[in-house]
A and B are shown apart, each in its own frame.
Chain A
Amino acid sequence: MAIWKKWKAKRFLLDELIKRDFKKKYKRSVLGIFWSVLSPVLTMLVMRLMFTQFFGRDIPHYTTYILAGNIVFSYFRDSTSEGMNAIVGNARILSKIDLPKTLFLFSKSVAFLMNFIISVGVFLLFCAFDGIQFGWHFLSLIVPVVLLFVFNLGAALFLSTFYVFMKDVRYLWSVFLRLLMYMSAVFYRIDGYPEQIKRLFWFNPVYVYITCFRQVALEGRVPSAGLYALAAFYALLALCIGLWVFKKQEDKFVFYF
């Protein structure tokens, strides 16, 4: 009975935190939730305009190609760089009340997941414009969405721990993200590279998730078990490391607020 009540109270807190994080994300912009539709589309249009001459000529459905890379990368970027702030941003309340700190990260991640689901909707819309054949295989997109959520949550757990102790992690991370964007083949194809370099791309989890989306939309097939295994491996690895680091350090957070 007591456990049930405790769980219900926790569930209530989580619901309210998710609501807050989602509301706060849109409260300050006039466009509100429409922004999460507009933002990836605008980026895609600019990239299309800039790069069609260089890369687009030999990539079929270049719009879809860019958009797939863009929504996945944006989700990773926003979820990690904002999720990093989940603990420090709530420092005042966390130094007053003993709360389960992982909830704060989870709620932020869920708010970003909802945002991502909207972007996936936009992505599907553009697939239709781009003349992509729809089929049952599109349902398999649920797998990379779930895995990406887990991966981002793990990364945010890890980063938010470091951010409590070292405040410059935020700037270093934004630099790293810019580099990672160029390494994730968002707007170019990797076909031209030699085999050894192509293999290196599989070490980039974000590229793996982008590929899951592209195989479904552009190649019209459910990704192979190998790709899923790799995607799942990265997700679980990120979550395990993130949780382990976070749990090990969370009792010390209060001394650094």
Chain B
Amino acid sequence: MLSVENVKIAYPVGDILDVGLKETLIRRLKKNYQVREFVAVDGVSFHLEKGDMLGIIGHNGAGKSTLVKAIAGVVKPAGGRIRREGKVTALLELSAGFDPDLTVRENTILRAAMMGYTREYVQQAYDKIISFAELGEFQDRTFKQLSSGMKARLGFAIAGLIDPEILILDEVLSVGDSGFKKKSEARMKEIIHGGAVTVLISHSTRQVETLCNKLLWLDHGRQVVFTDEVKLYCEAYEEFMHSKKLPASREQAEKMAAKQAGRQKAEREKAARGEAQKLEAILANGKNEQLARRALEILCQKWPDLVRQAVEQPIEEFHGKKDD
């Protein structure tokens, strides 16, 4: 269970970063030392139960990552409350935070310790982690000797092999070569379907639509909507990306979704028309029937319905001319 109640997250901006002690003292004396508070997230509330998967969408800087950090417990909210039941695992930047001078074995054990497991548990899971990461021969190499793919694999194996109760994902992760990708995706699905609460940050509404059953839309740190009508609001979000107008109500969101559907259809038709024109040009110039047929085949595969409609006419003309 994960419950976020009216959470506000603020952090300081202004003269604070990269200003040293000497500089701070001088500015304080001159009285032009300024620190403001930037509210990154404000008034966000939602509630998730076991098995729920939440997709968080919003433009860059909407506060998605900040909110997720608060859920992971790294950032403490300035207001409101976050209640979690169970262990939180964040799969973000998998290969970050390992120590380059320690061996793979030492790093694995240290990371597992950081994730809150007991020595007994880690000893028992260690072989599983290493074989999942396919690093059996590299156990005693130092971490800096590994390739970046290996590092990410180890990161995923440690975070993924345990059973998190709350899982945070930044985009759906795919690390390593295609073989490992398949394995990690399968493992991730296992976790998600195994009754964990999952939170996914994504820029792809298609991904959110297919994976999530709950949706949180953030805009400039404010909650636009928290809903289980994922498809509707994903479409409305696509429309928002064009019009930059937020929906104030459900009806408006519906209108936006409809508009988006219309726009999408129009775009597809436009693309199909463009292709059809190209095809016509081929027919008019080269009179190369073979080439034209191939082009048509390709187009039919891409836009089966629209292209056939748009292209039927010139084909008949072509045949007619030949008969003459």
Question: Chain A residues in contact with chain B, CB under 8 A?
Answer: 5-6, 8-9, 12-13, 15-17, 19-20, 23-24, 27-28, 90, 92-99, 162, 165-169, 172, 251-252, 254-256
Contacts and interface: CB of A to CB of B under 8 A. Distances in A.
B76 interface: yes
B118 A254 contact: no
A256 B35 CA distance: 13
Given A96-B72, A251-B76, 7 more contacts: A15-B119, A20-B99, A24-B99, A93-B97, A95-B69, A97-B72, A97-B114
A8 B118 contact: yes
B22 interface: yes
B212 interface: no
B18 interface: yes
Contacts of B90: 96-97
Contacts of A12: 113, 117-119, 122
Nearest to B72: A98
B116 interface: yes
Nearest to A90: B97
B96 A167 contact: no
Nearest to A14: B113
Contacts of A95: 69, 74
B56 to A, nearest CB: 18
Contact of B110 (A5, A20, A254): A20
Interface of B: 11-12, 16-24, 69, 72-76, 88, 90, 92-93, 96-97, 99, 101-102, 106, 109-110, 113-119, 122
Contacts of A166: 19-21, 24
A20 B102 contact: yes
A165 B93 CA distance: 24
B201 to A, nearest CB: 14
Given A172-B21, A252-B12, A9 B92 contact: no
The 8 closest A-B pairs by CB, nearest first: A168-B20, A98-B73, A93-B97, A13-B113, A166-B21, A92-B97, A255-B11, A16-B113
A165 B16 contact: yes
Contacts of A13: 113-114, 116
A15 B22 CA distance: 37
A166 B33 CA distance: 14
Given A167-B20, A254-B74, A16 B110 contact: yes
Nearest to A173: B21
A162 B20 CA distance: 10
A135 to B, nearest CB: 42
Contacts of A90: 97
* B interface: dominant SS: loop
Nearest to A92: B97
B116 A9 contact: yes
Contact of A169 (B21, B74, B76, B110): B21
Contact of A24 (B24, B92, B93, B101): B101
Contacts of A255: 11-12, 75
Interface centre among B24, B69, B75, B118 (most CB of A within 10 A): B118
Contacts of A256: 16-17
A205 to B, nearest CB: 22
A82 B18 CA distance: 20
Contacts of B102: 20, 23-24
Given A9-B116, A16-B110, A28-B101, A96 B16 contact: no
Contacts of B117: 9, 12
Contacts of A93: 96-97, 114
27 contacts: A8-B119, A9-B117, A12-B117, A12-B122, A13-B113, A15-B113, A15-B119, A19-B106, A20-B102, A24-B101, A24-B102, A28-B101, A92-B96, A97-B72, A97-B97, A98-B72, A162-B21, A166-B21, A167-B18, A167-B20, A168-B21, A168-B22, A169-B21, A252-B12, A254-B75, A255-B11, A256-B16
A48 B22 CA distance: 37
Interface centre among A95, A97, A165, A166 (most CB of B within 10 A): A97
Nearest to B76: A251
A162 B92 CA distance: 28
A168 B26 CA distance: 14
Nearest to B22: A168
A36 to B, nearest CB: 18
A169 B24 CA distance: 11
Interface centre among B12, B20, B72, B114 (most CB of A within 10 A): B114
B11 to A, nearest CB: 4
B288 to A, nearest CB: 59
Contacts of B22: 168, 172
A23 B88 CA distance: 30
B118 A5 contact: yes
A55 to B, nearest CB: 35
